[in-house]
């Protein structure tokens, strides 16, 4: 049987639309129908922009009818993490503070449809539109991208389609599930310390965190500016490569965006990998990793060896400081980035009192007290503390020095090898609610993704197996992480694609009811 239109890969789907074998409008309607049908049980979308999506699709069909060439994402529906600004459409970053209070007052449940409406598109959003993509809606996420389970969203959690009692990972959980459950063939997320790779790994899709600076952050609501990077999710490596190629490149609106030429990521898929040197850091298989996850990742690495890669051990000795250093740097930057949400310009406004008198301090306190969730408050407190006079040297400055050491570990390793292969997460998806009261165990979910973030390096998560969870239930996805030197995204795509062709879970999709 022909696969349903939305189950086609991104390059196939775009080709069908470009050739006029299917209209962009049909594809857009199919995506909207799937969201309607499947998302009630999953919670991946916060808002759906149905009318705008159909209008954009019709405009694309009209252009085709006039004989104009369509872009590389012609008619392809792409979900957007709700931290990406979309002109005129609600943008919440998963936070109550970016929504106007519903009728009944600020203490009522927040409504994402009352979210902040930016007057402009993020650069990546503009590039997607320019390439012909259709944007059906905004995806759920941990509040301000802080989290590893999507349980920190002000609008409720996202469920993992492989087992709905489990988390999909975070913070881009909605973007991952949009793809894993076949609602959109691709999506964008952002990754500060693992927020693309970890949910991709836990939901069995491909996710790429590009080199810091490869993709413009203009219009991404900031969490930790020296780490944040936007990247794609897709069901396969080629799809992710095509998306990455569209969104990459210099943007004068983001001073940290790099001027380096964009690689041929999709064309790299299919190139031989024989002779590639793959480093395996033993520090990534240390205590805390689930036995089954370790076994599956090691099998995947053996698979690469079978393709002619040379596999050898490498050492990244500062790995064990990554969690501590990250949670200092990221919280410090967050405390400063989030200072702008004070009730004056954006979203929620709660007049408060101080000493029985309504004043500006009262407004700040009222708005931030009501608008931010617990995890965000925890991080603002931590971040403000590590930046404060007298503690700055002991914490923030020290963490920056550790960051340099982590980066040097990778520099050393990449003298010997071309890529590093590792697990994405120490465990398969855990149960909803299991870690919400234990921030430290939640932070530890990121041990294997944080180091590449701290070093600014590109990394991909590609499905490599399914494995049973230690606490029972259906088999769950396991991801293989590949890390490359800066700007070597093409090498990542090349190796991940080669692995995907021999992967035991190639083409395996989450069960959808
Ligand atoms: N889970 C990590 C955190 O909570 C990383 C989040 C991210 O990459 N945005 O900070």
| Residue 197 preceded by cis peptide, ω within 30 | no
Q: What is the DSSP string of 182-246?
A: TSSSEEEEEESSSTTHHHHHHHT-EEEEPPTTSB--TTBPPS-TTT-EEEEEESSHHHHHHHHHH
Distance 172 CA to ligand 1 centre (A): 9
Domain annotation covers residue 413: no
Please report the pLDDT score of residue 299 as a whole number.
98
pLDDT at 513 over 80: no
Average pLDDT score over residue span 387-411: 96
What is the helix (H) or strand (E) element at residue 186, kind and residue range?
A: strand 186-191
Would residue 375 count as lying in a domain? Answer: no
Establish whether residue 192 lines the binding site of ligand 1, counting it when its CB lies within 6 angstroms of any ligand atom.
yes
Per-residue pLDDT at 3 exceeds 80 = no
φ and ψ at residue 163, rounded to 5 degrees:
-165, 110
Q: What is the mean pLDDT of residues 373-400?
A: 96
Ligand 1 pocket residue status of 498, Cβ below 6 Å: no
User: Which pLDDT score is estimated for 439?
Assistant: 86
The one catalytic residue in 195, 248, 257, 425 is 195
CATH number at residue 96: 3.90.1300.10
pLDDT at residue 200 is higher than 80: yes
Q: Is the CB of 148 under 6 A from ligand 1?
A: yes
Catalytic residue among 95, 171, 172, 503: 171
Q: pLDDT tens across 217-249, in order?
A: 999 999 999 999 999 999 999 999 999 999 999
Which pLDDT score is estimated for 354?
A: 76
Decide if pLDDT at 334 tops 70: yes
| φ/ψ of residue 299, rounded to 5 | -60, -40
Burial tier of 437 (Cβ tally within 10 Å: 0-12, 13-18, 19+)? exposed
394 part of a folded domain: no
Residue 94 lies in a domain: yes
Peptide bond into 171 cis (omega under 30): yes
Helix (H) or strand (E) holding 258: none
47: β partners: 138
Per the annotation, the verdict on 148 as an active-site residue is: no
Q: Which atom of ligand 1 is nearest to the CA of 191?
A: 8
pLDDT at 151: 98
Q: Of 287-296, 308-317, 347-356, where does the model show the most confidence? A: 308-317
- Average of per-residue pLDDT across 331-337: 98
pLDDT for the residue 125? 99
Catalytically annotated residue among 9, 23, 81, 149 = 81
Q: Which pair of structure tokens corresponds to residue 99?
A: 């929504």
What residues contact 74, with CB distance under 8 A and at least 6 apart?
Answer: 14, 17, 18, 24, 60, 64, 131, 132
Active site residue 257: no
For 245, the domain range is 3-312+420-502
Q: Is residue 86 part of a domain?
A: yes
Q: 223: Cβ below 6 Å to ligand 1?
A: yes
| C-alpha radius of gyration, the chain, whole number | 22
Output the CA 227–ligand 1 centroid distance in Å: 10
513 domain residue, yes or no: no
State the pLDDT confidence band at 288, using cuts at 50, 70 and 90.
confident
Place of tokens 């050393």: 412
Q: How far is the CA of 253 from the centre of ligand 1 (A)?
A: 24
CA-closest residue to ligand 1 atom 10: 146
pLDDT at 502 over 90: yes
Q: What is the pLDDT of residues 25-68, one digit of tens each?
A: 999 999 999 999 999 999 999 999 999 999 999 999 999 999 99
Q: What percent of the chain has pLDDT over 90?
A: 92
Give 209 Cα–ligand 1 centroid separation in angstroms. 12
The structural domain count of the chain equals 1
In a domain, 244, yes or no: yes
Mean pLDDT to the nearest integer, 329-342: 97
Ligand 1 contact, 334 CB (< 6 A): no
* Per-residue confidence (pLDDT) for residue 185, from 0 to 100: 98
Pocket test for ligand 1, best of 170, 174, 201, 379 (most atoms within 8 A of CB): 170
- Asked if residue 1 has pLDDT above 60, the reply is no
Assess if residue 380 is contained within a domain.
no
Q: What is the pLDDT of residue 441?
A: 85
Q: 492 CB less than 6 Å from ligand 1? A: no
191 lines ligand 1 (CB under 6 A): yes
- Binned at pLDDT 50, 70 and 90, residue 357 comes out as confident
Per DSSP, 91 falls in state: B
Distance 330 CA to ligand 1 centre (A): 9
Structure token pair of residue 208:
């790429």
- Residue 269 contacts residue 233 (beta carbons within 8 Å): no
Is the pTM of the predicted complex or chain greater than 0.85? yes
Ligand 1 centre distance from Cα of residue 59 (Å): 37
The pLDDT of 444-469, averaged and rounded, is 97
Indicate the average pLDDT of the chain: 96
Whole-Å CA distances, 447 to 137, 200, 325, 395, 456? 31, 16, 11, 19, 15
91 lines ligand 1 (CB under 6 A): no
Q: Using a 6 Å cutoff on CB, does residue 228 contact ligand 1? A: no
Residue 69: per-residue pLDDT: 95
- Residue 112 contacts residue 99 (beta carbons within 8 Å): yes
Instruction: Indicate if the pLDDT at residue 161 is higher than 80.
Output: yes
> What is the pLDDT averaged over residues 163-183?
98
Rounded to 5 degrees, φ, ψ at 277 are -95, 120
Confidence band (pLDDT; 50, 70, 90) for 2? Answer: low
Q: So what's the pLDDT on residue 107?
A: 83
Phi, psi angle pair for 421, to nearest 5°: -115, 135
3-state class (DSSP) for residue 45 = strand
Is 171 tagged catalytic? yes
- Token pair belonging to 498: 């080669």
């Amino acid at each position: 049987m022909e696969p349903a239109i939305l189950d086609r890969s991104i390059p196939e789907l775009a080709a069908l639309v470009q050739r006029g074998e299917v209209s962009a409008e049909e594809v857009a309607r199919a995506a909207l129908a799937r969201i309607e049908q499947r998302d009630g049980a999953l919670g991946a979308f916060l808002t759906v922009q149905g009318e705008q999506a159909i209008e954009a699709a019709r405009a694309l069909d009209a252009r085709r009818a006039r004989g104009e060439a369509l872009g590389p994402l012609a008619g392809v529906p792409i979900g957007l993490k709700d931290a990406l600004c979309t002109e005129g459409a609600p943008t919440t970053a998963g936070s109550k503070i970016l929504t106007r209070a519903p009728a009944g007052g600020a203490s009522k449940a927040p409504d994402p449809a009352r979210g902040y409406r930016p007057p402009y598109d993020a650069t990546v959003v503009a590039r997607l539109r320019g390439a012909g993509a259709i944007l059906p809606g905004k995806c759920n996420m941990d509040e301000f991208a802080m989290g590893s389970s999507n349980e920190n969203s002000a609008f409720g959690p996202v469920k993992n389609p492989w087992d709905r009692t489990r988390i999909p990972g975070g913070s881009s959980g909605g973007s991952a599930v949009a793809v894993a459950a076949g609602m959109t063939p691709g999506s964008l997320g952002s990754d500060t310390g693992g927020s693309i790779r970890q949910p991709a790994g836990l939901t069995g899709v491909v996710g790429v965190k590009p080199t810091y600076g490869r993709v413009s952050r203009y219009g991404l609501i900031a969490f930790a500016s020296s780490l944040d990077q936007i990247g794609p999710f897709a069901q396969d490596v080629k799809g992710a490569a095509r998306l990455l190629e569209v969104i990459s490149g210099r943007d004068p609106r983001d001073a940290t965006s790099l001027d380096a030429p964009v690689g041929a990521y999709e064309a790299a898929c299919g190139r031989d990998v024989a002779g590639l040197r793959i480093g395996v850091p033993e520090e990534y298989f240390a205590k805390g990793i689930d036995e089954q996850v370790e076994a599956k990742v090691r099998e995947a690495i053996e698979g690469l060896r079978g393709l002619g890669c040379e596999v050898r051990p490498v050492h990244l000795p500062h790995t064990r400081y990554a969690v501590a250093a990250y949670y200092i740097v990221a919280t410090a930057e967050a405390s400063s980035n989030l200072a702008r949400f004070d009730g004056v310009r954006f979203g929620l406004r709660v007049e408060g009192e101080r000493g029985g008198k309504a004043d500006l301090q009262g407004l700040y306190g009222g708005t931030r007290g009501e608008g931010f969730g617990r995890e965000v408050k925890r991080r603002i407190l931590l971040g403000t503390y590590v930046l404060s006079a007298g503690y700055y040297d002991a914490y923030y400055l020290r963490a920056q020095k550790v960051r340099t050491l982590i980066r040097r570990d990778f520099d050393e390793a990449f003298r010997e090898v071309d890529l590093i292969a590792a697990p994405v997460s120490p465990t398969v998806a855990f149960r909803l609610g299991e870690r919400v009261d234990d921030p430290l165990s939640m932070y530890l979910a990121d041990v294997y993704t944080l180091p590449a973030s701290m070093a600014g390096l590109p990394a991909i998560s590609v499905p490599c197996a399914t494995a049973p969870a230690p606490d029972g239930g259906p088999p769950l996805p396991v991801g293989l992480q590949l890390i490359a030197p800066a700007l070597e995204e093409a090498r990542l795509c090349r190796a991940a694609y080669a692995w995907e062709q021999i992967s035991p879970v190639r083409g395996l999709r989450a069960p959808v009811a």
